[in-house]
Amino acid sequence: MECLGREKPRQSTKLMNLGIAMRGDVLQDKLDEGRVRQRAVATWNTRRLPTRLTPGWTNRLYVACRGTWRGSFPLSGDVYWNPKDAAAPYALIFDPRRWTPLVPAPCPSFRGWRYLASPPGGAPNMATQAPDETVEIGRTTPRTS
């Protein structure tokens, strides 16, 4: 696997949120990776490369299950690329320890991922948080450098 990182030529300076549709059991597994296993990094494989992510942990990955927005994870501006995986060669990188639940809000039906112009359901935009800022009793976002 190769990290595409900040080499993306069309990278935006505007903070970017992505929304993904995920089954409930998959979301539970991702939450367990952070809470139980204390993993600082998890991935979501996709066939499309998002080109508008900003560097560092400034992006948010919003998750929808069964037609409802459920919450979000901090999303890295880096993307892994695996040329051996023809079906989903790109992997979005997020911090499963830092789940932020939302008040459930209806979500339009979609597959894969989509750019979000604003956080779903009027949620506050969490994407401006600095990487070293303490968020909850001693927890911080992982560093990418």
For residue 47, is pLDDT > 80? yes
Classify strands 59-65 and 42-46 as parallel, antiparallel or unpaired.
Answer: unpaired
In whole angstroms, give the CA distance from residue 135 to residue 120: 21
Whether 73 and 135 have beta carbons less than 8 Å apart is answered as: no
Q: Which pLDDT tens digit goes with each residue over 7-26?
A: 443 444 567 899 999 999 99
Token pair, residue 120, equals: 């779903």
In whole angstroms, give the CA distance from residue 145 to residue 134: 18
For residue 50, is pLDDT > 70? yes
Whether 131 and 84 have beta carbons less than 8 Å apart is answered as: no
